[in-house]
A and B are shown apart, each in its own frame.
Chain A
Amino acid sequence: MDLQAIAFYLLAAVTVISGFLVITARNPVHSVLFLIMAFFTAAGLFVMLGAEFLAMLLIVVYVGAVAVLFLFVVMMLDVDFTQLREGFARYLPIGMAVGGVLAVEMVMVAVTVAANGAAGKNAAPAAPVADLPNAEAIGRVLYTDYIYFFQAAGLVLLVAMIGAIVLTLRRRPGVRRQNIGDQVARTPASGMKIVQIKSGEGLSE
């Protein structure tokens, strides 16, 4: 067995195991950490496929931003995870049944793959561009062939932004904010009031 095969099986096994641990770990923080591990090993698999740009992107975007954000959310939200898991045992049999059927189907598909080869008699998906580094190859199609998808994906993100603002931004009437213009425009006349108080009486206001 050559080195590449060893690396592949190692990375693949760690990916699957940590994926499994993401959903079984008792502590949600551990779940997120296992998710990060799964991202790292998946990035390793990308490198083995020769997609080093995607591998780095996976780490920068998913580990660096998404997973860390998850971690913050998990730590800040006061969610009772034991309560969330209450139905787990009850739904386990049906979940196992569905999962089992899916697993059997996937094995059947895998058998046909083994018999026919991955894409059958088709050409390999997306023929690699000769002598171009990954990032350049993506850059060449991203703003030309895929400009439509790229711009449309931007609109999807715009909707997400609008949605977040619509659902969470609210103006609270009672909050006093600092208004520098008002502060600077204050004069002694508007900022001060002289009141004569009779002795023995308080100031009622």
Chain B
Amino acid sequence: MTFQDALLLARPEVFLAASTLVLLVWGAFRGDKAMGEVSIGASLALFVAAGFAAVSPEGTAFAGGFIADGASIFGKVAIYLISPVAIYLGDRWLVRVGNGRFEFPILILLAALGMGMMVSAGDLISLYIGVELQSLALYVLAAFRRDDPKASEAGLKYFVLGALSSGLLLYGASLIYGFAGSTHFDLIAKSIEGGATGTGVLFGLVFLICGLAFKVSAAPFHMWTPDVYEGAPTPVVGFFAAAPKLAAMLLLARVLSEGFGTALEQWRQIIVVTAFLSVAVGAFGGLAQSNIKRLLAYSSIANIGYALIGLSAGSAEGMEAVLVFMVLYMIDVTGFFACLGALSRNGKPMEQLSDFAGLARVRPGMALALTALSFSVMGLPPFSGFWAKMFVFKAAIASGQWPLAVVLLLGSVVAAFYYLRLIKTMWFDAAPGQTDKEPLDAKGVAIASALFCFPVVLPALALLEPLAKTAALAFGLK
């Protein structure tokens, strides 16, 4: 393969990196008044990159470090299309709180670039660099409002725990390299198949999974999630509850299926345990929360648990379920945080559950959107969350993971309590007063994603499912 072919495979990433640099220089010269222009430029760059990714040829480049296949193309298109929404919401929101700086879209762009690298990683080195690029940008975004002590705390907590998880990940990667003799996923799989690696490489794999579980906030590595979600700026949380989770899940799926596909029985045990714990922690931890952002943090832990159930199936069907689940969840959660970013009372954001009392009378449109989104995350048919869980459930049953399928149902029932409580508060309690007029941008995104939950999901699913199916086949599992 010539260098030109390699660049052609990596065209979305090369384009994103180049446009990031151009926009950075543009912003540095024009100052913060250029934030709007940089935001528009960044969004356009992401759309173009999504287009490049969609028509990208398949193959591997850069000595196996970069893979372009069905799964990576699927992931990239989804990530590059959801990131402009985060730029749009965050840009308007930051201007409203008087903290608009042009670095915001640049950092989102760099995070998206890191995610693109994650989903195309074919090597432990590119895995690590992608993860690091993505998370470093997210640490800064979490602390973006540096005058807010809570945001600074969130950023610091995220950074310290993220650094710890990177340490675990690197330690695992070094052990795998030492025992398998290569950092390349295919060669690792080959050496495991040869049966010469023994427990050493599995020991490394455990650390690698621990490090990645931190990034997707799966229990028992979830402890940072509620604090970071509570402290970080709302649209930023909406961003890092969505796209990075999809990227990290795809990366985990790729490492496990391509690098360790021959040790399926071994890693399945670990994934089963983390999936079980995540669902349990997410469902029961959320019961005691009165802050909506913390509640959504527990909800995201539970949802990652459901996605891990799909992964634990260890089949092409399971991978397809993971992809569909993550995309539908991403749209749900973006809508949820758009609602939170839109609602405020007397200039103060509404974050406590009690703030939402009687919302249905004050702001019926927002209440309706939130209700639809809640029903969806709860998994009520015919909303999108139901279809997402259906896919996971079917895959778990088909691969004989009965206990986990039962756990999924029980977890959903327990978690339904806190979504129903939110709905009850909005529709049946007395309102403490008027809310501020919601800004058009956040309201638009909220209503659009509520409409996606139902009824747009039905035709969209018919489109999404075959795409996810071909993408899942790229992992090489049966």
Give the interface of A toward B (CB within 8 A).
105-106, 108-109, 112-113, 116, 118-125, 145-149, 151-153, 155-156, 158-160, 162-163, 165-167
Contacts and interface: CB of A to CB of B under 8 A. Distances in A.
Interface stretch (B61-69, B269-277, B363-371): B61-69
B61 to A, nearest CB: 7
Contact of B103 (A146, A151, A166): A166
A160 B136 contact: yes
Given A122-B181, A156-B129, 5 more contacts: A105-B203, A112-B198, A125-B177, A162-B140, A163-B139
B170 to A, nearest CB: 14
Secondary structure of the A contact surface, majority rule: helix
A162 B181 contact: no
A162 B38 CA distance: 15
Contact of A125 (B117, B178, B194): B178
Interface in B129-146: 129-130, 132-133, 136-137, 139-140, 143-144, 146
The 6 closest A-B pairs by CB, nearest first: A120-B196, A121-B196, A148-B62, A163-B140, A122-B181, A145-B63
Contacts of A125: 177-178, 181-182
A101 to B, nearest CB: 12
Contacts of A109: 175, 199-200, 203
Main SS at interface, chain B: helix
B62 A145 contact: yes
B133 A116 contact: no
Given A105-B203, A162-B106, A166-B140, A119 B126 contact: no
Contacts of B203: 105-106, 109
A165 B104 CA distance: 12
Nearest to A112: B198
B179 A159 contact: no
B191 interface: yes
Nearest to B66: A148
Given A125-B182, A148-B66, A156 B133 contact: yes
Contacts of B137: 159, 163
A116 B119 CA distance: 34
B30 to A, nearest CB: 15
18 contacts: A109-B203, A116-B198, A119-B180, A120-B194, A121-B194, A146-B65, A148-B6, A149-B65, A152-B117, A152-B133, A156-B132, A156-B133, A158-B110, A159-B107, A159-B136, A159-B140, A162-B110, A166-B144
